[in-house]
Each structure stands twice: as C-alpha cells, then as structure tokens.
Structure 1
C-alpha cells in the first residue's frame, strides 16, 4: 500500500475515510500536514521554510512528505501550492472541492491521506517556527522509549507552557479572551492541558490516523476532539515549550473559542436542537461577560462588592479539597476558629460542588474553582430554567429563553452572584420542580419519588436555604393553583403526597448523619440572628439594583442590607409589565397562580414589620408568624423576594410566546417593545473587581513554618473576622499549612449556642479589633498582659503576625505592650515568636 516518496500528486476531493484503516509506510518517516484557506500571501514562505529545514538534516528527518490541503480557497492559494509541488515532488496538494468546509475537515483529510511514521500538523502562518519541530521530535522520541507499552503519543507545541517564549503578543483583549476560552475548553473537555488550540502538533502517525478517522467535527473543535481521543485511548500527550509569535491576519479569533465549546456540546448532544445549543451558548457568553473582570486576572482580582465572602468561599473550597485529599472528615476542621474549629456542615461550603471539584482545586487553586462555580453555575441555572419552561410552559424557544434569562439573571440573583454561589447555583431547583410536577401526573410515582428524593438530597449539599425558599415558592404556587383549578388539585394531591413520602424515605437516610452533625455536632449552633432590619422596603421592588444597567449604587445601598443582599430591585417597568400580563392573561390558571406566588413571596420578604414608604405607619407583616419557627428563624426574610424571579420569568415567557403568535404585526411589535423596555433597565452589568492584597512573603515563602510547632496556630493581628478575613486567603493560597484562631464562619456563642458570624470573641481579640478601627488604646497593665497570655494559650499560639494595614502603628504598639517586647520584621510583616518567652 506504499507510495514512492518521490511521486508528486494533486488530489481532488479524496474520501476522508479511505485511509481509516491505513498504517504508516516504512519509506516515509515524516508527514507534514498544512491546512490552507486563503493563504496566498503566506503559503509559499511557509512551504519554503519547511522544505529548507527538513532538507538541512536529511539524516535526522529521512524521507518526508508535505501535504497541503486547500480548503476551498477563493484566492491564489491552490495555484501557489501547485507551483511549489511542481518544484518539489515530495510536496502534495489536496484540493478540497467546493466551498470552505472548516479547519477540522482539512486536517482530517490531510492526516488520513498521510503515510508518515510521524505526522506534524502546522498552521500556514508558521506562528510556531518550523525549527521548533526539533523539540517536539525529541519529546516524542523520549515517549516512545519510556516503556509501559504506550509508546509515543502526541507532543504539543504549547504557548501556555511556562517555559515558552512569546516573541509577538496579540492585543491584550484578544489575548485575554483567548485565555478565557482556553480555560473553559479545558474545564469542559481536556483538563490538565494548558493549550488546547495550538496549531503545532507532532503525532505518532498510526495513532493520529486512528484518531482523525474517528473524528467528526469540521471546525476548530477538532483539536480538542483529537486530544480527547488520545486521553480515552491512554496515549501520552506532552506539552512542549516553544517559541510563538502572533501573525497579522490570523484566522483564529477570540470568538472561535466559543465556537469550539459549541462544537463540543453539539458533538455530545446530537439530539439537542440547534436553538437549544444557541441558547446555551448565549447563556454561557452572558455569564462569562459578567465575570470577565475576575477571569482577566485570577491571581490578583477580587470581586469588589463581595466584602470578605470571596476569601471565605475560596477557603471553603480549599479546606474541602484538603480534607478529602487527606481522608479527613469533610464536615469539620480546626483550621479556622482554632482550637474549637468549624462545623462545615453548618456552614455554606456547598459540598455538592466543593467535593467533586477537589481535583480542580488541588490542581488549579481555589480561585479557579470559585470563578468556575460562579460562571458555569449561573449558566447551568439559566439552562435548567429554560429546560423547565420549554417542557411545561411554552414551546417557543425564544420565549423560553427570555423567561429563563429573567429567572437566572434577575437582580437578586446577580446580587448574590457577587458573594453567594449557594444562591446563584440553583440548577437543581428547576429539576426538583419538574419532578414534583411529574408526580402530580401520577404516572410513575415510585420512580419520580425516588428521583425527587435524590435530587433534594443533592440540593441539601448545594444549599439548604435555597431549597427551603424553593419549597415555600412551590407551596405558594400549589395552593394558588389549587384555588384556580380545584379539579386539577383533587386529581394531583394523592400521587403528589405519595411521591413526597417516597422522596423523604429516600432522602432521610442519606442526609440523617450530616444533618445531625449540622444541628448537634461539634460547633453547631441553634439559629443565626440578622437584626430587625432584614426585610425589604416596598420601594426596593421598584428601584434598580446597583449592578443593573440603569441602577445607581447610592440609591440601591439605601434600601438593602448590603450589596450582596439586594433581594428585590426588579424595577418599576418590569413590575408594571407583570401587572399588565396578569390582567391580559388572567383567564389562564397558571398566570393567576404565578401572580399570587410572586405577590405572597414579596409580602413575606417585607419582614415582621412593614413600614409604609414616606410615612411613619408600621404594619405587622405575615413574616411575624414564621420568624421564630424552626429553619425560618435563620432565614434573611428579604430573600423571600428571590421567589419572585422565576414567577416573573415565567409570566414574561408566557407573554412573549403569545406575542410571537399574534396575528396582528403591529400588536406583536408593540408588545415585544414593551418587554424590551421592561427588561433592559435591569440588564446586569459586569461585576467590578478590585486589586487583592498579596500574601505576605513570610507566609507565601513558608517562613512561618520555622515559628510553629505541631498543633500551634498562627495569630494574625487583628484576628480574622467577617470584617477582615484576609488571613483566610493566606491559608487557601498557600496550602492550608497553619490554623488560625478567629475567622469568618457561622459558629456558636454563649450558653444558648446562638449562631454568630466568626468565633466567640475574647478580650484580646476585641481589643485588637477596636484598635484596628480607630479606637484609642487603653492603658495596658499587668491585667491586660495576663489576659493576653491566657488568650494566646487558649489559641495555642506559636507566633503572632502583624501585616501592613490601616492603623498598623497603633496595632504594633498594642502588641508590643501586650507581649512586653518589640516584634521582628520578617518577610514584610512584624513577627513575635512565642516560644520560650512565656507569652504562649
């Protein structure tokens, strides 16, 4: 089946599968495949450079062939390729008849027409110089000699390798978008490979032909498809550092990374409609744009409005990964709140995500996990609502997409997207709602009940409070729908209750121990108090949030607890549109039930006492009868308004569906314009990011280890708390090598074990906190020093560390007086080693 290496050829439209079973020709040592589309200006220099390099060392490269695949070029690419082939018989041209079919098609055609023992793929622009082939060849040769039966696989010229050299960079925005797209592709398909879209790869020839024969993608995604094939086959893939330069006129654009993701999704879900894929892609794009500032610089970016929550959540991800990797109890740790520890089940650690994402956290760090959870969690939530609306409410994909976008990207959700992924990743809620609706049909009660129990169990490990809010919303809707359609309620209540009983029987054994640990285990607490002003103002429903297109921070800040709790803020245009929809479609029972659900949830969110705006009139709200009940006593009541988001989203979906089917064009145009006017003001804007402080060198370089003995804690000054938890970043960014007293978590306080944020305060921690925020230092005498010794002994302190911060001089003076000696400047911080001093 061989071919004389000196025989030139020009092929038209070969059958890509004809060589699927082919193997290498012993007479051909190397095949170089160059896909070309409208490369008239760059092709000849590229071919000349490849030919010159291979001829310069014939002993190394032996016999070779170069295949140029012209992929439907409309310029002189094919002519130039044929001219060069006429000069060099080892250069062959494949003319792909017809229009451009995509890079994947061209690569598959070229590889399946190859005979080389090794196959090099290179782009026509030679962004990676052909001389870098030497490095790839050495690495592939090393793989072939490594034993283990795997042999050589693939060597990738990786721009992202830390030892690679970029001679000419792309524009910063394009480079950032490329990195972001690459990270998403890695997360979805080939984790662990830095550069999935490199155009310079060297393969074992037979393995390459097998992989490309199996490939189906015609576009840019084929690179990932081939690498995934190699991974499944167990063939080694090595990334090799190379030189790389951006070439003007490059065919690869940042948007092509999104195309790759869509191609991969399409490959894995052939039965999914194109409209569904398009909607998914749009939701992903929206989520990426919202978090683009965070993705831009994961090393130093910090969501500006998250207060200390990003530090806390990264620590949660890190400590879960650390517990799992060391086979420790994932429900408890003493790395915060030392020595008492933290009941992790009683905190929002999202074990349902933090546990399975352990490999990501260990390999890429907790900040990457944090960014992935936010970005992909928001996307998954939008997709889940879209799926639910299509299945149960409307069949018009456009209407469902608009409604799902409002469900997932409504202002309350975006507010929590700053700091609370447990209220952002709500993709299981639509799945639970769907299963409850199936139970009402009474067809497969046992199966649906079992699945409902499993889904509810998983949601408990994502977030218990969102599940409680969802249950309240579902109950409100069920009661409202039962009043609107009593005959439907009579038919549904028996299978529904039976299914819920089955779900409880499935879920309770699975969650019994974790819930016991949460409510009765070490460092458990009874309830968390949030104060008397945790309800919404009625005005909050009509205003715009700070993260909305027409929102203003100073107006929203006055109506919310903080920027992570802007739990209403739907804006007066949307509230007005919802009222019109309810009036126009009131004949539909589902519309009346959705309206009643939204109204009741909004009323509950006002709290136990409702103040009429611009008056001194205060009314008793219905929340008063829930505020002290189990489970509800720890809920921030303003969050009840989050139930309104899916209700409003579904009302809008119904309206858009009716408008799209309206016979009168003018009526349809006016109605859709009203929807745009209502939604545009609350369109979310990208999250702002601030520069996060660097970890002090004393921590980052591990010097602290010289000052700690086993079981001892490092005491930051002041101790970490909900107002300043930067010490948690020190821990999570450096491998959790030391415990700290204090912290940012929910724990018990006092004989009643009331839940508070942070560790129970001690005299010394309170003193240092007061000094940090500007209070004068009281006279420090023997009593204060004795108390400091007791507190340090309680914390099992080995070293005290004061990092640069506001009021650093006053804090330094306080510690000097408490410990009776000056600190030592080490690694950018003040250090007091407590060993042998009588302070510990």
Structure 2
C-alpha cells in the first residue's frame, strides 16, 4: 500500500476537495517508492496529531554537503524554545539520491530520534518527495523547507504567528512581498526569468499569489495532508497544485515577507518554470477529459467545461511562450549588445525596418518609402519585408524601448502565437485530444525549417494568421455563413499581406495542393464544397483588393520597384536535406547542414529521417482516412517543388526536370526561392503527428499506447530546437552617438561609409536605428532595382568606386589608382550626394585608408573613433 492509500483523506480522483479536512488516524507504512529506513520511526506508530505540534518536511536530492548543516540549524532553533513547539518531528525525504544524502540523513536520525528518514529507490521529483513526507507527518502544523535553507529557519516564527489567526490555513514565504529582503541575489538573468515564470504561473493557475515556488511554507497539518493526498503531480508544479487546492476549498492562504539568500548549487533552473507549466497543462488535460460533459447536456452544465477549456488554452499559450523564450533566452539576456550569431546582416536590417517605420508613422510620412538608405534614390519599403502589420502597431514600443526590443518581441511572441494558432486549428478541426493538438502544433511551428528562419526572417516565422485563414476557408466549405466568412477571409488575407506576402503565397500553394488532392480522393465532398467556397472567395477578393490595391500598386509600380529578384545559386533543396538534421536541431551540426543549404537562415528542409519515418508509418497505418492521404500527397508535392527546376539524384550526376521548371517562370513565383516550398511540409507533418497521438490516446491496450507514444517521442527528440547562439555586436562609434556627423552634412547630403553598406556588411543600419535616424547613407541592405530591366537585387547597384573598395576590403590589396579612378570616385560621390566619407575600424583598415586617400588626394582625420574626409569645400555653409 502507498502512503496515500492509508490516509482517510479524499482520493486523488475526487472532483472537488472537501470543505473540511479529515484527521489522519494512522501512520503510513512502507512502500516500494517511499519506505522508512530508521527503527525509531517504524516503532513509533502510537503517535497521533495530539502528540506532535510541528512537522518539518525536508525533501533532498543529492544534498550530502548541505543537508547536515540544515538539519543541525533546524534542530537548534526548535530546541532553543522547547516550550513553544512541544513535540516536533523532522522528516527527511531522500528522493533517490545518487550521493551520500541518505547516509547523512540516517546519521542525523541516529543522534536525534525525532528525525525520521524516508527514502525512494529512484528519483521521482520534488512533488513526490514532498507528498511522501507530508503524508508521513503527524504535526498539527507542517512546515516545508528546502534542503539548502535559503530561507532561514528563524522565519518559521513569523509564519507561525500568521497561521495562529482563526481564518488562516497556510502561510507561505514570498520573495515577491515588498517587505521581503534578498540578502544574496541570483544572477540577474536567472532572477528575471524566475520572476517572469512566477507571473506566468500566477496568471495560469493561482491568481492572487505572487510567489508560488518559494520553498518555505507552513500549513495547517490536517488540511495539508488532505491536499497532498489529493495531489497528482510529482514535479515542481506540486506547489501550484496544493495552493490551487487550498484556494478552491476556501482555505485562506497568506503570503509572508521573508529573508532569502540564493544558494549556489540550487536544483531549481529557469527552465523548471516551463516544466511547471507543462505539468499543469497535463493535469488540466486529464481533468478536462474526466469532467467532459455530453453534447446533450444543458447550457448551465457546459459552463464549467468551457471555463476549463479556456484555462487549458491559456496554459497552452503560456507554455508556447516559455518554449519560445527559452530559444531566444540569449538574446533577451543582452538586448543592448546581443546579436543573433547566424542572422548575417538581417538583424541590422530588421531593426532598421522597425525603426524607420516608427519614424515615418511618428512624423506622418509615407510608410511605404524612405531615402535613409540608398540615398538619394531611396527604398521602396512595400517591396521589402517591413511587416507593416507589426511594425506599425509596435511603433510605440520601438520609440520607447528601441528597435532591438521590438525585434526580440516579434521573434519570441510571434513564434509562440504561431504555435498557439496551429494548436487552435488542430483542436478545432483535426483531433479531439488536446495533448495531440499541442504536440502537432509544436511540430508545425518549431520544425527545423521554421527555427532556421527564426535566425533572421520573422516574416517566415510569425505565421499566426495562416491557421486563421485556413480555418475560415474550412468554414466556407461548410456553407453556413458564406458572406460573413468570405468577408473575414478577405480581411485576414489583407492583414497577412502586411505581415508577409511570400508566406501567404506558399500557404495558398499548400491549400491548393491539398484541396486538389482531397477533391480527387473524395469527389462527393468536392461537389458539396466548391460552390460555397467559390462564393466566399469572391467576397474575400471584393474585400481584400480595395484594402491592398494602393500598397501593392506602390510595390510593383512605385519608385524603386523591381520586377524579379536575383537570388543566386543553390536555391533548391537536395533530397538529402530532408533526411539530415538542421544546425539548430538537438542531433544536428552546422558542419553537416551547411553544405546542403544556401545559408543558416535558409535550411528549408532538414526534417530529419526519424520524423520522415514516423510520418510514413502514420500514413501507412491511417491510409484509409482521406485526410491522411491528402496530407501525404500534399507533402510529397511540396517536397518535389522544392527540388527546383532540375531534381538531382543524390550521390550521382543524374537529374531530371522538376515541376518548378514551369511554375518558377510564372508571375510572382519567379521571385520565390523554390527551396522554401518545403516549409509547406511543416504543418502537414504536425497534423500527421497530431493524428497519430490522437489515435494512440484512444487505444485500449496500455502497452500499445505507451510503445506508440515512446516511438513518437523518439522520432521528435532529434529535431528538438536548441537555443539560438548570440554574438556581441560592435559598438556604434562616437562620431555617430555624439552627433559629430552633423557638422559635416549639409541639407540632403549623405554619409558615404567605406566600404558602402551592403548585404555582407550593414552595421551602418544599426548606426541609424540605434540613434535618431536623422542622417541618410549611401548604399545599404534592401531589395532594389538594377539594370535596364529593373531586376531586383540585394543592395544598391554597384559602381566602379564601391566595387573597388569592396575588393580592397576583401583582399587587403590596393590597386593602381590614377586620374581615371579619381574622376570616377568624384562622379560616384556626387551621385550619392555624399557630404563626408567615413572609414570605421575594420578588417584591412590600413589598405582601405590608403585607397581612399589616393582616390580623394588627401589624408583623413580621426574624429570620434573614425577616419573622416570632409567633401564640402572650405567655408561652405553648414546646417
């Protein structure tokens, strides 16, 4: 028998806690998972709650060095005032330690018979340890304290006085209390993560309690044993579960200020707050299944399940936020200097997009155009990925906190929102089991290709509108409210255009592929759906086109528009890329992934062979389902498109024409990187995983269900994403931060930075976005036109002078520079309307300095950490 089974308290399956606790009449016995090991404890069965005034429970895991000082301190404090506490007991629960923790505890128990030891043969978690200790206790009051004694035992006196009040059933230490004192702080980032985690937990589960995870809590003994007997969690979340039990039972809980010191070697990690949310979510899912109300139930009876469903949604959303935050934790820890290591120059570009949009909105300028880059021709912002759907509403954040904060917010919460949107879609249309929907959504949003784009492409990461658009299209197929659903679909599509046009195009491709496959497989469904679907699409176009006509017209026909984009070579996927692991996957390495992708932000396949095998097994097992067959055919079609114009056979020189050879020449598609069509597979694989888990959850054979879930976990483990690495970005020179450039620029003049900012070196964009955006630059990193056909390229059209300086920067060799080169430099600088040439510290700086001096015929001057050449004649008027 287990300790729980011997207690007369309610069973864990009880739907509601009792209004009053029942006393525990007899001590627990020995179990396989928690057994007493000292003779004093096992022979003391005659004790009752009237004999013991206080029980102290200390869970311990690998605490051989810290445990004995803690036990001595507790014992000394209790013995110092024996009249106050009367009979007491100290219960140490060894949670399967692999060191000498059990021996240390037994030695202390041999010296003091009031110390008792419970051991577990394996590590079960803090929750299991604390529950075992509380259910083995007899005290009228029960104190829980951690083995490190981060909160000194003297704080017990304060909690005891609070618990003496008639209406108080629990007094818990709270580090968040304004009167608490933190003597030794944790590392700043860890402390911040802890506070954030507590806020999430409070919001999700225990409103009104500010610090759930402090390990110093004093309970009324009988109520504690009742609550712990009903508990189900074995991990860190048991603190939350117990406090929720007290709240639901109407047993008042007060938070008390405490003195607290961080102890080195703490077992609590920032990620444990995420685990708490995960445990609460699993408990919520179990509770939701246990309390499911039949469809014919009354409206009043449905209220509780609906409220539980809302809380489940909240927990899922918070869990995805935590997961996303973990991935971007390194960026959040240093927003001042942190730069995503694999972002190339894209972080500089995106921060500039956010900053220039906020500046345009604030000053009531056209948000579709600017001359701050590519001066004087400027940049067609609508023809670039400025994500006006987020950069405009987040303009206040950018203005108040800076574009780097906006960048971090968009990546972190955009990814979480996308995952939640896929979960919502799967739970609504695909699976009944909420856990299956969560896992499927995680695959869709956190798949390796999506994580690759999370390095630098928020327009391909923040896709929360795509599931919403899919949902509305599916509603149109039902034909219940065609006009309403069509209008909403048009509004949603218009908004997605201002988030990312290419992702919308890829989503449309995926939906068309899926619709075509499903129609071939189920022609009856196609006949039912085509009419309302076409009618709804007509309404959607009628709503969407007027909203986007002017911005799209500006994009394709406005100043600095272009007709196509030159992406360079290797824009297709090798079939090998699908079976390899991405650089940011748990089992992946950059050395393996880099040769198979354009760059680390374009690892558009890399799903890994275990996930592909799992998908294949699911398709075979569930082949009878039309949905599964349509998903499989759509994924195969998207993968085939991603191979490009010529499908290359791995490890051979053989190739054959692929479907992209025709599709890639069509309008709009000619600007698409074909390897990105593999992104369509991410939600498809997520749906297949969700269907598999949903099917397994209904399996009657427990062994089959367990084996299946283990297989799913084994297939997904290799592609679990790892946190993004961060490097330190270069400081902005004082020439910019102190505004020294202002004395060198006249009206309409730009900075000509050596070499000109380009897709390979765009720190100058950070110079602008991190200051006041009040100086333009020649060159830049954006999409603009080049040549007589206005073909789209990255950056400005190269000139003789810019190409010469690029070559010097790359090689360190200064070519012969004569009158022709000097005259060309004069012409180029005039075309850029440059007022000053600036050479910041960089590689091959001396060679660049020599080249500029020869081009301009004079040396530069050091000003604010950079070399400058004033291009205005002496005595020219300054602004």
Q: Which moved more, 1:625-634 or 1:700-709?
A: 700-709
2:189–2:333 Cα contact (<8 Å) kept: no
Kept in 1, the 8 Å contact 2:812–2:847? The answer is no
- How far apart are residue 175 of structure 1 and its match? 3.0
* Structure 1 residue corresponding to 2:594, chosen from 557, 560, 563: 557
Match status 1:607 vs 2:644: yes
Match of 1:416 among 432, 438, 453: 453
Once the two structures are TM-superposed, the CA of residue 82 in structure 1 deviates from its matched residue by 10
Distance 2:696 2:609 in 1: 21
Kept in 1, the 8 Å contact 2:382–2:555? The answer is yes
Structure 2 unaligned blocks of 5 or more: 1-18, 20-57, 59-72, 78-140, 145-152, 205-209, 212-238, 244-257, 285-305
- Work out the CA distance in 2 between the residues paired with 1:768 and 1:82: 72
**What residue in structure 2 maps to residue 394 of structure 1?**
431
Contact in 1 for aligned 2:277/2:315 (Cα 8 Å)? no
Cα deviation for residue 219 of structure 1 reads: 9.0
**C-alpha RMSD over aligned residues:** 3.7
1:126 aligns with 2:181: yes
Alignment of 1:712-751 (within 5 A): 712-751=749-788
- Measured after TM superposition, the shift of residue 519 of structure 1 is 0.2
SS of aligned partner of 1:773: helix
Conserved? CA contact 1:440–1:493, under 8 Å: yes
Q: Which residue of 1 aligns with 2:187?
A: 171
Are the counterparts in 2 of residues 102 and 219 from structure 1 also a CA contact under 8 Å?
A: no
C-alpha spacing 1:258/1:804, structure 2 compared with 1 (3 Å): same
What residue in structure 2 maps to residue 468 of structure 1?
505
> CA-to-partner distance for each residue in 1:555-596, whole Å, 9 max, x for gaps?
111111111100001111111111111111010000000000
1:638 aligns to what? 675
TM-score, reference length from structure 2: 0.71
Aligned to 1:97: 168
State yes or no: 1:567 paired with 2:583: no
**Is 2:413 the counterpart of 1:368?**
no
**2: distance between equivalents of 1:257 and 1:508?**
45
Partner of 1:430: 467
Contact 1:399 1:654 in 2 (8 A): yes
Partner Cα distance (2:810, 2:646) in 1: 33
* 1:182 CA drift (Å): 9.7
**Structure 1 CA distance, aligned partners of 2:350 and 2:643?**
28
Instruction: Measure how far apart 1:74 and its partner are.
Output: 3.6
The separation in 2 between residues aligned to 1:309 and 1:186, in whole angstroms, is: 36
Q: Does 1:446 align with 2:502?
A: no
Please name the residue that 1:519 is paired with. 556
Maintained 8 Å contact 2:368/2:381: yes
Determine the C-alpha separation between the residues in 2 that align with 1:393 and 1:427.
Answer: 17
CA contact (8 A) 2:822 2:855 kept: yes
The CA distance in 2 between the partners of 1:615 and 1:255, in whole Å, is 46
Partner deviation per Cα, 1:495-520 (whole Å, 9 max, x = no partner): 00000010000000000000000000
Matches within 5 A, 1:302-313: 302-313=339-350
Instruction: Look up the match of 1:23.
Output: none
Q: Give the Cα separation in 2 of the matches to 1:285 and 1:624.
A: 42
Preserved contact between residue 378 and residue 560 of structure 2 (Cα < 8 Å): yes
Pair 1:492-2:563 in alignment: no
Kindly indicate whether the alpha-carbon contact (under 8 Å) linking 2:759 and 2:781 is maintained by their aligned counterparts in 1: yes
Write out per-residue CA displacement over residues 474-497 of structure 1, whole angstroms, 9 at most, x where no aligned residue.
Answer: 000001111111100000000000
Secondary structure in structure 2 of the residue aligned to 1:714: strand
Cα deviation per residue 1:107-162 (whole Å; 9 max; x = unaligned)? 9xxxxxxxxxxxxx733x334xxxxxxxxxxxxxxxxxxxxxxxxxxxxxxxxxxx
Task: Measure the CA separation in 2 of the matches of 1:290 and 1:376.
Answer: 11
* Cα drift, residue 271 of structure 1: 6.0
**1:742/1:183 Cα in 2 relative to 1: closer, same or farther (>3 Å)?**
farther
Q: 1: CA distance between counterparts of 2:695 and 2:276? A: 35
1:712 and 1:527 mapped to 2: Cα distance?
30
* Partner residue of 2:617 out of 580, 584, 588: 580
State the Cα deviation string for residues 337-367 of structure 1 (Å, max 9, x = none).
Answer: 0000000000000000001000110011000
Alpha-carbon distance between aligned partners in 1 of 2:196 and 2:442, rounded to the nearest angstrom = 22
2:454, 2:190 → 1: CA distance?
26
Q: Residue 685 of structure 1 is aligned with which of 722, 725, 730?
A: 722
Q: CA deviation at 1:776?
A: 2.9
Question: How far did residue 691 of structure 1 move?
Answer: 1.2
Cα separation, 2, equivalents of 1:434 and 1:830: 57
Matched, 1:545 2:600: no
Counterpart secondary structure, 2:793: strand
- Deviation of 1:281 (Å): 2.3
SS at match of 2:629: helix
**Given that residues 78 and 95 in structure 1 are in contact (C-alpha distance below 8 angstroms), is that contact kept between their aligned partners in structure 2?**
no
The reply on whether 1:650 has 2:721 as its aligned counterpart is: no
User: Partner of 2:752: helix, strand, or coil?
Assistant: strand
Q: Which residue in the other structure is 2:660 paired with?
A: 623
2:519 alignment counterpart: 482
- The answer to which of 388-397 and 178-187 deviates more is 178-187
Whole-Å separation in 2 of the counterparts to 1:455 and 1:299 = 35
> Residue 335 of structure 1 contacts residue 738 of structure 1 at CA under 8 Å; is this kept in 2?
yes
Counterpart check, 1:805 vs 2:805: no
Specify whether residues 548 and 84 from structure 1 end up closer, same or farther in structure 2 by C-alpha distance, changes over 3 A only: closer
Contact 1:789/1:839 (CA < 8 Å) preserved in 2?
no
**1:615 CA drift (Å):** 1.1
Task: Give TM-score, length-normalised by structure 1.
Answer: 0.74
Q: 1:179 to 1:751 in 2, by over 3 A?
A: farther
| Structure 1 residue 99: Cα displacement | 3.6
Report the Cα distance in structure 2 between the residues aligned to 1:183 and 1:339, rounded to whole angstroms.
Answer: 49
Is the 2:583–2:590 contact (alpha carbons within 8 Å) kept by the matching residues of 1? yes
Q: Distance in 2 between matches of 1:795 and 1:822?
A: 21
Give the corresponding residue for 1:315. Answer: 352
**Residue 512 to residue 685, structure 1, CA distance change in 2 (3 Å):** same
Q: Is the 8 A contact 1:545 1:553 kept in 2?
A: yes
Deviation at 1:770, TM superposition (A): 1.0
CA deviation after TM superposition for structure 1 residue 381, in Å: 0.4
Aligned to 1:748, what secondary structure does the other structure show? strand
Look up the SS of the partner of 2:181 in the other structure.
coil
Q: How does 1:217-232 map to 2 (within 5 A)?
A: none
Q: In structure 2, which of residues 783, 801, 806 is the aligned counterpart of residue 764 of structure 1?
A: 801
Q: Is the alpha carbon distance of 1:79 and 1:730 closer, same or farther for their aligned partners in structure 2, counting shifts above 3 Å?
A: closer
Bigger shift: 311-320 or 532-541?
A: 532-541
SS at match of 2:564: coil
Q: Which residue of 1 aligns with 2:287?
A: none
CA contact (8 A) 1:168 1:245 kept: no
Matches of 1:296 and 1:252 in 2, distance apart?
19
2: distance between equivalents of 1:635 and 1:273?
A: 39
CA distance in structure 2 between the partners assigned to 1:828 and 1:93 by the alignment: 67
Relative to structure 1, is the Cα distance of residues 736 and 260 closer, same or farther in structure 2, using a 3 angstrom cutoff?
A: farther
Which runs of 5 or more structure 1 residues have no equivalent in the other structure?
A: 1-12, 14-37, 45-71, 86-91, 108-120, 128-166, 189-195, 198-217, 223-243
Partner of 2:321: 284
> Hey, what's the Cα distance between the residues in 2 that align with 1:512 and 1:595?
36
Contact map agreement 2:186 2:262 (CA 8 A) in 1: no
Count of residue correspondences: 668
Equivalent pair of 2:570/2:597 in contact (CA under 8 Å)? no
SS in 1 for 2:510: helix
Whole-Å separation in 2 of the counterparts to 1:403 and 1:590? 15
